[in-house]
Amino acid sequence: MYPVLFRIGNIPVETYYVFWFTALSLTLLWTVRRLPVYGIDDDEGRRVISWSFVGMLAGARAFEYIWNFPVYWNDPSLIWDLNRGGLAEVGAISGAVLTAVALCWRNPKVSFERLCDAGAPPTLFTMALGRWGCFFAGCCVGVPSTFRLARHFPYDPLGVTRHPTQLYYSFSTAAILLLLLLLERRILRRGGVPRHSLIAPLGLILYSIMRLSIDPLRAEAGTDGLSLSHWTLIAAMPFEAIWLTTSWRAFRKKEFMVSVSN
């Protein structure tokens, strides 16, 4: 059970869900507003984004179920208990990307790569804001530490402080977001957007490095080892590197879209 921020009648509104719901809502709105910049048909883009959102939620829970399969196999009723386990961030990204790939396949109105560039900064914003929900809820905590930034969490005995890994995620993701926005600004100044995605693969690579660097500080890292999320990040990085290299070569040849809406 997460800390209650406030109540509506007898219904508790928990901090964790308030932050993540707010982050996701703002992200959807921001992504839709960015569609014209990348020459994406508004109606078709909204359809793909809506289904990708469903795919994101499905992927987020699927990673939880797969990684803890024996638990859910022994007691299938736990599948519907959303207070057990969380929404896996890497699973959410995987679900959204796979859904978008399927819907953009041979779809002339929505380029998968340009849709990825349109959605990359808003997605990072989701994580930067949503992780504060994890922080106030006391989940995803780090190992005990006396580091200057270490914080005491309510579920620990007095005197025990831990790495606030949630805030490490938040600030690191915000830094990646700022970098991508600065890069995007420079790209748009050249008169268009690349036919091949630059923003998305770079963001994915930096996100993977960030997660693989911070996750060893998580409290469960010493017992769980590499999780499904980690293996997914590691396996995807070579493909992301090839994607980024190919896009960069096309960018240097000035392979732009013909028109860009500001």
Instruction: Give per-residue pLDDT as tens, 129-174.
Output: 999 999 988 888 999 999 999 999 988 898 899 999 999 999 999 9
Q: What percent of the chain lies above the pLDDT cut of 90?
A: 56
Give the model confidence (pLDDT) of 235-257 as tens digits.
999 999 999 999 998 888 776 66
- Concatenated DSSP letters of 138-155: T-S-B-B---TT-B--TT
> What is the C-alpha to C-alpha distance for residues 166 and 135, in angstroms, rounded to an integer?
5
Tokens of residue 251, six digits: 């960018």
Q: Does any domain span residue 260?
A: no
pLDDT for 83: 60
What is the model's pLDDT at position 262?
A: 43
**Ramachandran angles phi, psi of 198, nearest 5°:** -110, -45
Bigger pLDDT: 200 or 7? 200
Indicate the pairing of strand 11-14 with strand 4-8: antiparallel
**Average pLDDT, rounded, for the chain:** 87
Q: Considering the domain boundaries, does residue 258 fall inside one? A: no
What six digits make up the tokens of 16?
């964790």
Return the pLDDT at 166: 95
Whether 257 maps to a domain, the answer reads no
pLDDT, tens digit, 9 for 90 and up, residues 160-218: 999 999 999 999 999 999 999 999 998 888 777 888 899 999 999 999 999 999 999 99
- pLDDT bin (cut points 50, 70, 90) of residue 1 is very low
pLDDT above 80 for 80:
no
CA distance linking residue 132 with residue 6, whole number of Å: 17
Please measure the distance between the N-terminal and C-terminal CA atoms of the chain and give it in whole angstroms: 45
Which sign, positive or negative, has the C-alpha torsion 4, 76, 221, 52? negative
Confidence of residue 125 (pLDDT cuts 50, 70, 90): very high
Number of domains in the chain: 1
Q: Give phi and psi for 118, each to the nearest 5.
A: -65, -35
Residue 57: which domain range? Answer: 4-252
Asked if residue 8 belongs to a domain, the reply is yes
pLDDT at 14: 75
In this structure, the chain runs to a length of: 262
Mean pLDDT confidence for 216-231: 83
Please give the radius of gyration of the chain, using alpha carbons only, rounded to the nearest integer.
20
Assess if residue 262 is contained within a domain.
Answer: no
Residue 193 forms part of a structural domain? yes
Angstrom distance (rounded) from CA 170 to CA 11? 29
